[in-house]
């Protein structure tokens, strides 16, 4: 019996996508999601995050940040992370909107608040 796995973090960027990438390479049936209202990535300061809608392609985010400040986003690891993400799937998906993806046998969450949102 093959299980279906879901990896869930807040923005479907870092932890859920790293797990998704690793499991996908090993042949697992895996999907990944975020639970936030928007996809948030670090910006030039804590008060200036980069905010995108779920469904915005990782390539668009990559190109946008590379245009804004390539050195900053390369140095803080955001561009390499986005490059990995776009090799895994097209865009971040929101857990609350995943009904069409079907049921999962095992769901991993990476924060307590994300766990609570998945249960809701």
Position 1 scores a pLDDT of 77
- In this predicted structure, what is the pLDDT of residue 118? 94
Query: How much of the chain exceeds pLDDT 70, in percent?
Result: 100
Residue 50 contacts residue 61 (beta carbons within 8 Å): yes
DSSP 94: B
Find, among 4, 2, 3, 6, the residue nearest to 110 by Cα: 6
- Of the candidates 83, 42, 76, the residue with the CA atom closest to the CA atom of residue 62: 83
Query: In angstroms, rounded to a whole number, what is the distance separating the alpha carbons of residues 42 and 26?
Result: 30
What is the average pLDDT value for the chain, to the nearest integer?
Answer: 96
Average pLDDT over residues 32-42: 96
How confident is the model at residue 65, as a pLDDT? Answer: 98
Residue ranges of domains in the chain: 4-119
- What's the pLDDT tens digit per position in 54-101? 999 999 999 999 999 999 999 999 999 999 999 999 999 999 999 889
């Amino acid at each position: 019996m093959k299980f279906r796995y879901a990896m869930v973090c807040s923005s479907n960027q870092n932890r859920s996508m790293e797990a998704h990438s690793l499991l996908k390479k090993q042949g697992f049936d895996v999907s990944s999601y975020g639970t936030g209202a928007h996809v948030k990535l670090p910006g030039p300061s804590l008060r200036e995050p980069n905010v995108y809608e779920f469904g915005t392609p990782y390539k668009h985010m990559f190109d946008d940040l590379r245009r804004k400040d390539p050195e900053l986003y390369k140095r803080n690891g955001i561009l390499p992370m986005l490059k990995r993400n776009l090799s895994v799937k097209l865009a971040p998906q929101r857990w609350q909107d995943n009904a069409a993806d079907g049921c999962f046998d095992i769901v991993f969450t990476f924060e307590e608040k994300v766990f609570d949102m998945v249960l809701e």
